[in-house]
Amino acid sequence: MKEIINPDYIKLTESLKSLEANYGLLGIKGLIYHRLIGQLFYPKNSFNSRKYYLISVEGEISGDNIPINLLAEKGNLDDAFTIFMKYINGKYPNIEYSDNVIFNVLLYRNAENISIKKYTLKDILTPKIKHVFFDWSNTITSKGRAEELFKTHNKNCLNDGALELLEHLYSQNIPMGIISNRDMDKGEFESHLTDMDMMKYFDNIILSSDGYRDKPHPDMFIQGIRDTELAPKYILYVGNNYIKDIMGAAENGYQTAYKINDKKGYSYNDIANYKISDFKELIDLI
């Protein structure tokens, strides 16, 4: 009886030929080719499962010399890297990656769709932002001018670059919201934003006047996670108060951007993912 060749095997072979032509697969530093092929030809799950394979690490690595292994068979790359890092930290505790390390990852979606992408350590530690929350007073607004803004609707009361950042995020379809310690009724707050043509930027507004305890208490940060239905690592919180905003958000798993109004800033500011003086700086960072 003649053996029937699995059509997915043929598709996979053609995909690998294309990958070699486009990326120089065999020339990638650190690639253990036969092991990779074995994993692809004989996957534990179906051919339609999305898989991520770490095929090489380039750059400065101090400590143990790690082998190149399967990254993970996960549908979410962040989760795959989390598993990989836990494995490395457990088995090779002396490993240290420099900022210039590049992780070459093969994305295996199906037999016809295979590609390679490069990720930096920053890409891994700071996942792509899917929602941004802002503090209001002294963050969106200039220091001490929040009340003036609502009385006059003069946008000169906004912090430098605030409108540019809001417009940029809006154009990129990144949802935004406000988490703020405010005594003002939420309806009145939203009315002011509408009059200034700024309500369009914000999908959700969470104010302490709605019965939440003031930051840094986790009440409003937890509500932000509920509203977005996202893991907090995908949410960025931007604030000017290191204790109330940055530490409060970080303790609830958010990424954070510290808006420094005082040039000296806060002396212990290492916890923030980003430190900015002008909002325009965030445009290139997120």
Summary mean pLDDT of the chain = 79
Which range is least confidently modeled, 9-13, 86-90, 114-118, 143-147?
Answer: 9-13
State percent of the chain over pLDDT 70.
Answer: 70
Q: What is the pLDDT of residue 268?
A: 58
Q: What is the pLDDT of residue 75?
A: 58
Strand partners, 257: 238, 274
**Structure confidence by residue, pLDDT tens digits, 88-140:** 777 777 777 777 788 877 776 666 777 778 888 877 777 789 999 999 999 99
Which has the higher per-residue pLDDT, 94 or 63?
94
- How far is 113 from 117, CA to CA, in rounded Å? 13
State percent of the chain over pLDDT 90.
Answer: 44
Strand partners, 92: none
Question: If pLDDT is split at 50, 70 and 90, which confidence band does 68 have?
Answer: very low
- Mean per-residue pLDDT for 153-169? 95
Q: What is the pLDDT of residue 141?
A: 95
Q: What is the pLDDT of residue 175?
A: 97
**Structure confidence by residue, pLDDT tens digits, 237-255:** 999 999 999 999 999 999 9
Cβ–Cβ under 8 Å, residues 239 and 269: no
Which has the higher per-residue pLDDT, 212 or 39?
212
Q: Is the pLDDT of residue 206 over 70?
A: yes
**Is the N-terminal amide bond of 232 cis, ω within 30° of 0?**
no
Question: If pLDDT is split at 50, 70 and 90, which confidence band does 84 have?
Answer: confident
Domains of the chain: 7-125 (no CATH), 131-283 (3.40.50.1000)
Q: Is the pLDDT of residue 79 over 50?
A: yes
DSSP the chain: -PPPPPHHHHHHHHHHHHHHHHH-GGGSTT--HHHHHHHHHS-SS-TTS-EEEEEEEES-EESS-PPP---B--S-HHHHHHHHHHHHHHH-TT-EE-TT-EEEEEEEEETTEEEEEEEEHHHHHSPPP-EEEE-IIIIIBPTT-HHHHHHH--GGGBPTTHHHHHHHHHHTT--EEEEE---S-HHHHHHHHHHTT-GGG-SEEEEGGGTPPPTTSTHHHHHHHHHHTS-GGGEEEEES-IIIIIIHHHTTT-EEEEE--STT--S--TT-SEEESSTHHHHTT-
Q: What is the pLDDT of residue 89?
A: 74
- How far is 219 from 257, CA to CA, in rounded Å? 20
- How far is 192 from 185, CA to CA, in rounded Å? 11
Which has the higher per-residue pLDDT, 77 or 190?
190
Q: What is the pLDDT of residue 266?
A: 57
CB atoms closer than 10 angstroms to residue 151? 10
Pairing of strands 255-259, 274-276: parallel
- Mean per-residue pLDDT for 11-25? 63
Nearest by Cα to 163 from 153, 171, 173, 155: 155
N- to C-terminal Cα separation, the chain? 59
CB atoms closer than 10 angstroms to residue 14? 12
Q: What is the pLDDT of residue 30?
A: 47
Strand partners, 134: 178, 238
Q: What is the pLDDT of residue 11?
A: 63
Give the up-direction half-sphere exposure of residue 145: CA atoms within 13 A in the CB hemisphere: 16
**Structure confidence by residue, pLDDT tens digits, 193-205:** 999 999 999 999 9
